[in-house]
Structure 1
């Protein structure tokens, strides 16, 4: 635990808060941002950076999802429900983003000793536990097999998942990313992904095992803690908790060095998504403002 907590102990944390502005741009923007910050922080050009982001009705698919036998029909279903669709550049499967889901990325420099992958996951888990330490509940990190995008670091209360953690490593930078279902219905989000897989897979046998989703195993923090949380409420808890582990906490944006780097990484993310046209997948194309 101590080694994981040490990752949070930084002399300086730069905060890039896009929990409001992110709603007006494509989620592709966020993956370009995290790659930019990985490269910048990894090179020592910027301090450790924490970024928060929220996007409007978006389904983020994993690479394996694009290999579903009837993916085109599944994507069309999602679009009919009013969702944008993109493919992430890190691991995992389909997840839901909307105005009730807060995403947080911690970007750290990987030193010569390196950051063990579990240490990064543990740091985020301990951070979330500390954020909600005033509630008499146990936040566990374990796989919730019938959730969407199941993984060994699913965060749950009473076996109901409210968050998932992933990592992105690039140029000696480590981005530990989490999505937190803050409010709204966790089961309704899960039903959308459940139907997506039903349509996209039908009864075909596939080499990859896709999740058999049970919507009842997913919930939001508002549901689990019986508290009317807003994104702003959870952002305040996040900032207060991170401040305890920081010499200096300050707000910032991309630097003049990082801005052109972002253009490059964003273009790469867009190019990767456009390659899905070769598979005759129909995508909603979203462009940044």
Structure 2
């Protein structure tokens, strides 16, 4: 069933669940992006609603625009000093940080080819789901750009003026992936400080035609701090799943069909080629084995 009503995103729908722990292939950073594209095609072709959870260990996820920095190699050396590997993703935006305290989650939905889902509708679906999941804590997140955060955008999610999450979208063959990173716990100041230093090294004060953020670590926070509770990545994932189940949604384990795996393998090779092209000799060989 195609989801078209903003108000019912969390009610009476069936979802297939895909998680990093269930992947029948190596759990590598590039794998999650290749699988997202495969699931996008699957959702569009078979009209399936999909939940995709993929936490990572230390990782900086770069956007294509980051590679335009005039001193890009110097910027990468900053990330190396923080002992974080990095990849260039296949969707828009700028650099974000993933680690054991950050939940990456995608809501992958089919589109009606005759009535495309608007960009804002996709964002509103995710905003609604996150706010419904946090309702019990008496806090509501707002969506507006936090300009001095890393990867700022119109649908940054914040509580009390502090950003804890960012949303992006990717579309392929009648499928829409609405992707969010949620800084659940950990040292958000250090994450933002690393990205601030990344841009400082990459720009060295030069003015360029692309807009990169002047990152201020104080405008970002973890959800754990903002809610004043102890919260884990698994706990946040379970809040999302419980919200859907409480509202009569059906969640079943997704199956890795031969079609999904074939698409995944093609996407994996494309991600490797993209990263080889963008990063050259700076590529982390462990990420592309």
Question: Match of 2:145?
Answer: 143
Q: 1:187 to 1:178 in 2, by over 3 A?
A: same
Deviates more, 1:2-11 or 1:149-158: 2-11
Cα RMSD (Å): 2.0
Q: State the distance in 2 between where 1:254 and 1:144 align.
A: 38
Q: State the distance in 2 between where 1:272 and 1:13 align.
A: 31
SS at match of 1:198: helix
Q: State the distance in 1 between where 2:281 and 2:195 align.
A: 17
Question: Match of 1:165?
Answer: 167
Contact 1:182 1:220 in 2 (8 A): yes
Contact 2:134 2:140 in 1 (8 A): no
Residue 190 (structure 1) aligned with residue 192 (structure 2): yes
Contact 1:13 1:246 in 2 (8 A): no
Q: 1:196 to 1:19 in 2, by over 3 A?
A: farther
TM-superposition CA deviations, 1:231-263 (whole Å, max 9, x none) = 111111011112244542112242222111110
Contact 1:19 1:52 in 2 (8 A): no
TM-superposition CA deviations, 1:33-52 (whole Å, max 9, x none) = 110001111111x6211000
Q: State the distance in 1 between where 2:156 and 2:72 align.
A: 25
Q: 1:286 to 1:132 in 2, by over 3 A?
A: same
Contact 1:120 1:176 in 2 (8 A): yes
Q: State the distance in 1 between where 2:22 and 2:42 align.
A: 24
Match of 1:239 among 238, 241, 246: 241
Q: 1:41 to 1:249 in 2, by over 3 A?
A: same
Question: Match of 1:13?
Answer: 15
Contact 2:78 2:194 in 1 (8 A): no
TM-superposition CA deviations, 1:108-148 (whole Å, max 9, x none) = 11112121110110010010001110112231000000100
Residue 286 (structure 1) aligned with residue 269 (structure 2): no
TM-score normalised by the chain length of structure 1: 0.92
Q: State the distance in 1 between where 2:149 and 2:229 align.
A: 22
Contact 1:19 1:54 in 2 (8 A): no
Contact 2:9 2:129 in 1 (8 A): no
Q: State the distance in 1 between where 2:21 and 2:103 align.
A: 7
CA drift at 1:5: 3.1
CA drift at 1:283: 2.1
* Structure-to-structure mapping, 1:201-216, within 5 angstroms: 201-216=203-218
Question: Match of 1:220?
Answer: 222
Q: 1:246 to 1:13 in 2, by over 3 A?
A: farther
Q: State the distance in 2 between where 1:100 and 1:254 align.
A: 27
Q: 1:139 to 1:12 in 2, by over 3 A?
A: same
Question: Match of 1:153?
Answer: 155
Unmatched tracts of structure 1, length 5 or more = none
TM-score normalised by the chain length of structure 2: 0.92
TM-superposition CA deviations, 1:206-235 (whole Å, max 9, x none) = 111210111000000111111111111111
Q: State the distance in 1 between where 2:152 and 2:74 align.
A: 23
Contact 1:186 1:218 in 2 (8 A): yes
SS at match of 1:122: helix
Deviates more, 1:151-160 or 1:245-254: 245-254
CA drift at 1:276: 1.6
